[in-house]
Amino acid sequence: MLFRDGWQAREVRVRSDGAGVGRGGDEAAQAPAPAPALRGAHGLRALLADRERLALLDEAADRIGTSLDLGATCAELASFAVARFAQVATVEILPPEAIPVGPGVGAGPLRTRRTARETAPAFRDRGAPGALGAWVRHRPGCPTARCLEGGHAVLVRPGAGPSGAPSGAPAGEGGSGEGWPCEAGGGDAAMLVVPLRARGQLIGVLSLLRTGHGTRHDRDFGNDVDQHTVQAVADRAARSVDNARRHGMAQDLTMELQRALLADPGTPHANLELASRYLPCGTSAMVGGDWFESIRLSFGRTLLVIGDVMGHGVEAAVDMSAYRTLLRGVAAADLPPHRILRQLDHLTAQNDATRPATCLLGLIEPARRRATFASAGHLPPTLLSPDRPAQLLEVPTGPPLGTGLGDYQAVVHPLDSGQVLLLYTDGLVERRTEDIDASLARLARLGGPRPDASLEDLLDHVLATVAPTAPDDDIAVLAARARGDRDGLVR
What average pLDDT score do residues 41-65 get? 81
Of the candidates 192, 156, 193, the residue with the CA atom closest to the CA atom of residue 175: 156
Which amino acid makes up residue 284? Answer: S
- pLDDT at residue 175 tops 70: no
Q: Give me the pLDDT at residue 273, please.
A: 93
For residues 386 and 361, the model is more confident at: 361
Q: Give me the pLDDT at residue 54, please.
A: 86
Q: Which residues pair with 391 in a beta bridge?
A: 383
- pLDDT at residue 359 tops 80: yes
DSSP state of 66: S
Q: What is the pLDDT of residues 306-329, one digit of tens each?
A: 999 988 777 787 888 889 889 999
CA atoms of 431 and 473, how far apart (whole Å)? 9
Q: What is the pLDDT of residues 417-464, one digit of tens each?
A: 889 999 999 989 888 778 888 888 888 888 777 777 899 999 999 998
Please give the helix or strand (H or E) that residue 118 lies within, else none.
strand 110-119
Helices (H) and strands (E) in the chain, counts: 10, 17
pTM value surpassing 0.75: no
Stretch among 199-213, 244-258, 383-397, 455-469 having the lowest mean pLDDT: 244-258
CA atoms of 117 and 82, how far apart (whole Å)? 10
* Contact between 184 and 222 (Cβ < 8 Å): no
Of the candidates 197, 208, 219, the residue with the CA atom closest to the CA atom of residue 148: 197
Coil, helix or strand at residue 11: helix
Of the candidates 77, 326, 52, the residue with the CA atom closest to the CA atom of residue 204: 77
Reported as a pLDDT band with limits 50, 70 and 90, residue 484 is low
Stretch among 22-31, 58-67, 126-135, 433-442 having the lowest mean pLDDT: 22-31
Reported as a pLDDT band with limits 50, 70 and 90, residue 177 is very low
Reported as a pLDDT band with limits 50, 70 and 90, residue 239 is very high
Reported as a pLDDT band with limits 50, 70 and 90, residue 153 is very high
Count of beta carbons in the 10 Å neighbourhood of residue 474: 26
Q: Which residues pair with 276 in a beta bridge?
A: 478
Q: Give me the pLDDT at residue 108, please.
A: 53
Handedness of CA 437, 443, 447, 452 (dihedral sign): negative
CA atoms of 204 and 212, how far apart (whole Å)? 26
Highest mean pLDDT among 119-123, 247-251, 299-303, 433-437: 299-303
Q: What is 263-482's CATH topology? A: Phosphatase 2c; domain 1 (3.60.40)
Stretch among 43-47, 183-187, 285-289, 414-418 having the lowest mean pLDDT: 183-187
Phi and psi angles of residue 367, each rounded to the nearest 5 degrees, phi first: -65, -30
168 Cβ neighbours under 8 A, 6+ residues apart: 155
Highest mean pLDDT among 94-98, 168-172, 422-426: 422-426
What average pLDDT score do residues 197-226 get? 73
Based on the number of CB atoms within 10 Å of its own CB, is 107 exposed (0-12), middle (13-18) or buried (19 or more)? exposed
DSSP state of 401: B
Coil, helix or strand at residue 190: strand
Rounded (10°) angle between helices 37-63 and 224-261: 10
- pLDDT at residue 127 tops 60: no
Coil, helix or strand at residue 63: helix
Stretch among 1-10, 28-37, 183-192, 482-491 having the lowest mean pLDDT: 1-10
Stretch among 113-117, 153-157, 282-286 having the lowest mean pLDDT: 282-286
Of the candidates 390, 394, 410, the residue with the CA atom closest to the CA atom of residue 336: 410
Q: What is the pLDDT of residues 254-301, one digit of tens each?
A: 777 666 666 667 778 889 999 999 887 754 445 668 889 999 999 999
- pLDDT at residue 472 tops 60: yes
Count of beta carbons in the 10 Å neighbourhood of residue 80: 20
Q: Give me the pLDDT at residue 258, please.
A: 65
Reported as a pLDDT band with limits 50, 70 and 90, residue 471 is confident
Based on the number of CB atoms within 10 Å of its own CB, is 282 exposed (0-12), middle (13-18) or buried (19 or more)? exposed
CA atoms of 485 and 79, how far apart (whole Å)? 65
Q: Give me the pLDDT at residue 442, please.
A: 86
What average pLDDT score do residues 116-142 get? 76
Stretch among 94-98, 293-297, 400-404 having the lowest mean pLDDT: 94-98
- pLDDT at residue 372 tops 90: yes
Q: Give me the pLDDT at residue 158, please.
A: 72
Based on the number of CB atoms within 10 Å of its own CB, is 260 exposed (0-12), middle (13-18) or buried (19 or more)? exposed
Question: Residues for the chain: how many in total?
Answer: 491
For residues 187 and 234, the model is more confident at: 234
Strands (E), 188-287: 190-198, 201-210, 272-279
What average pLDDT score do residues 236-246 get? 92
Q: What is 64-250's CATH topology? A: Beta-Lactamase (3.30.450)
CA atoms of 162 and 171, how far apart (whole Å)? 14
Q: Give me the pLDDT at residue 252, please.
A: 77
CA atoms of 393 and 377, how far apart (whole Å)? 14
Q: Which residues pair with 397 in a beta bridge?
A: 375
* Contact between 397 and 377 (Cβ < 8 Å): yes
CA atoms of 131 and 125, how far apart (whole Å)? 13
Stretch among 30-44, 80-94, 148-162 having the lowest mean pLDDT: 30-44
- pLDDT at residue 162 tops 90: no
Stretch among 24-33, 85-94, 300-309 having the lowest mean pLDDT: 24-33
DSSP state of 257: H
